[in-house]
Chain A
């Protein structure tokens, strides 16, 4: 980013702090954490009176630099996917910068490394999705054969959501199609006699999509005083739940229609 000979401009600090906060939001960190990251980095590196306002979709950061002028930046957050190790690394980065262990160049290098962190290899996430959905089916009262079906369908669903995310398909459509596909597969498995209870299997698989953590975080944000963020997370959770249930409900209807029965 910056060569060591050039003095650090306030704009560079602004960019660094805002990017760190953007990564926190993109990786599934809380809103207050993004705000604290931006303010902490900006004030540790240079600025006075740093102020940040973040919602799940935008970061606004401003501070007064050593030149006595006010600087500000707006960053939009469009894609979000869970990457908790990034959140933890940014947390450590902020702490080390504030304690003086890292200077601007060090923080920038570390941030660059965090940004380039990869997710898990495909096979690991496939198995993780299978384990998650399979054991959720057991937890929700499914039998062993239901869990096996759920694991297989869940692994497929995790590939599908990855594919949709790469093709920049909107979340609503991706959730709808994913839930519909998973429901059809589970009903098909039951008709083949592989799964005993279709409902238990479907709910286990759909745990991959369902916004349980989102609705809980919405209430946590609201309790913590981040009202705008809480309301928008709640709206997001309701939209994904709507998409999933339209997909699953539609697939149910279609299946019954094809099987020649009324619902």
Chain B
């Protein structure tokens, strides 16, 4: 499969999962775009540095920043976008291969895969923690609030 299309696959897959997770319909493209951005950064950084964890860290940081920016302007929790957009990066397959190796009795294989999986999850969590702290340092929500007007704006009310 040609590599330039990979972010697109990540976006569509994320859109599917976002619908399954009952994300509001107009938020689905936001999450999908975040996933595409994240996957592109992951491909770029991990091929340049030749380290998967560094790529995951950078991708998670970019996804986190994207989600924090959008969430500040739409006055929604950033994590609803983050949870969906990190799905392509997240080491679900690694968890599966780790346990599969230990079910088959391949202890050494299970240990190495398990450590790589924990490292990947840790890198993603660290990237997200970093972007969350950055958004708080900038007081992104207050800045966005100044730009979009008073707190009780129309878009803040729930839709019927």
Q: Give A residues with C-beta under 8 Å from B.
A: 27-30, 33, 82-89, 91-92, 95-96, 99, 101, 110, 113, 119-120, 124-125, 127-136, 138-141, 143, 158, 203, 206-208, 210-213, 215-216, 218-220, 223-224, 237-238, 241-242, 244-246, 248-249
Contact = CB atoms under 8 A, between A and B. Distances in A.
B137 interface: no
B121 A33 contact: no
Nearest to A221: B125
Given A84-B84, A213-B90, A129 B95 contact: no
A119 B20 CA distance: 8
Given A207-B92, A208-B20, A213-B92, 9 more contacts: A120-B22, A136-B88, A212-B92, A219-B118, A241-B98, A244-B99, A245-B96, A246-B103, A248-B96
B21 A203 contact: no
Which range contains the number of B residues in contact with the other chain?
35 or more
Interface in B90-126: 90-100, 102-104, 117-118, 121-122, 124-126
Closest 8 CB pairs of A and B: A212-B92, A132-B16, A212-B90, A210-B92, A131-B16, A128-B19, A245-B99, A135-B13
B20 A206 contact: no
B16 to A, nearest CB: 3
A216 B21 contact: no
B1 interface: yes
A251 B129 CA distance: 39
A128 B16 CA distance: 4
B95 A212 contact: yes
Contact of B9 (A135, A208, A213, A248): A135
A235 B10 CA distance: 28
A141 B97 CA distance: 16
Contacts of A223: 125-126, 129
Contacts of A86: 22
Nearest to A246: B103
Given A82-B21, A89-B158, A138-B1, A213 B12 contact: no
B154 interface: no
A132 B14 CA distance: 6
Contact of A245 (B103, B118, B151): B103
B142 interface: no
A96 B95 contact: no
B156 A96 contact: yes
Contact of A139 (B9, B15, B19): B9
A30 B129 CA distance: 13
B95 A29 contact: no
Contacts of B117: 215
13 contacts: A27-B22, A82-B83, A120-B20, A136-B88, A138-B1, A139-B6, A207-B93, A215-B117, A216-B91, A224-B129, A245-B96, A245-B102, A248-B100
A211 B9 contact: no
Contact of B95 (A92, A128, A210): A210
A113 B125 CA distance: 33
Nearest to A96: B156
Given A110-B158, A135-B16, A211-B95, A85 B24 contact: yes
Contacts of A129: 16, 20
Contacts of A87: 77, 79-80
A134 B122 CA distance: 27
B81 to A, nearest CB: 9
A33 B77 contact: yes
Contact of A216 (B13, B19, B76, B121): B121
Contact of A215 (B76, B121, B151): B121
Nearest to A89: B158
Given A211-B92, A213-B90, A139 B17 contact: no
A89 B160 CA distance: 12
B135 interface: no
